[in-house]
Copies of this chain bind each other. A is one copy, B any other.
Amino acid sequence: MGKGRLEAFSDGVIAIIITIMVLELKVPHGSDLAALEPVLPVFLSYVVSFVYIAIYWNNHHHMLHLAKHVNAKVMWANMHLLFWLSMTPVVTGWVGEHPYAALPTALYGVVLFMAGLSYLLLQLAIIGSDGKDSPLAKAVGGDLKGKLSAVGYLVAIALAFVQHWISVALYVLLALIWFIPDRRISRVIARPHASS
């Protein structure tokens, strides 16, 4: 399995997700300010999802850069990640249309949690294929950030049924944390033999 073709395929799928998502913003049904009002929460939810998909593209890029071998397990772990990322537009649209409802807010978190989980599984699949002394294994270490954000999504899902604005705030906060590119991996790229 060529790493290049897996990267190209993933980039294609992520490019389609991020673009189509914004294109699904519907043309307003009037031509005045009142027609724009219901579009605002939809727009804001798309901005958050756009940042999330961009973060995944960026980190996916760095992770595959460090990967040495791509076997069938890695291929399917990658497909699993792409599946959950492709769920983002639907839940984004649902949250945007019902910005004050608990269930859409919770389901948005479920998709983020599953995407985060499948990213961790992909990481494990690559490390399992490349070995514990591989650059990726050294770069991610225990991956505290990845595990903590998974817990953060779980908390946000539960809180959606209590006070959903806290969930929304958590989603934005966890996006901001990942906004910063993974310095651990960048460090290893610069000095390939450094231990984490």
Chain A residues engaging chain B, CB cutoff 8 angstroms: 1-2, 5, 7-9, 11-28, 31-33, 36, 47, 50, 54, 57-58, 61-62, 65, 72, 75-76, 79, 82-83, 86-87, 89-90, 93-94, 97-98, 101-104, 107, 179-181
Min CB distance, A66 to chain B, in Å? 13
Main SS class of interface, A = helix
Partner of A9, one of B25, B36, B57: B57
Partner of A16, one of B20, B83, B90, B102: B20
Tell me, in angstroms, the Cα distance from A58 to B78 when the chains sit together: 12
Q: 3 smallest A-B Cβ distances: which pairs?
A: A31-B101, A12-B15, A31-B98
- In the complex, are the beta carbons of A79 and B54 less than 8 A apart? yes
- In the complex, are the beta carbons of A75 and B103 less than 8 A apart? no
Tell me, in angstroms, the Cα distance from A56 to B12 when the chains sit together: 16
Residues in B with CB closer than 8 Å to A90 are 22-23, 25-27
Q: Quick one: closest B residue to A32, CB to CB?
A: B103
Tell me, in angstroms, the Cα distance from A33 to B47 when the chains sit together: 26
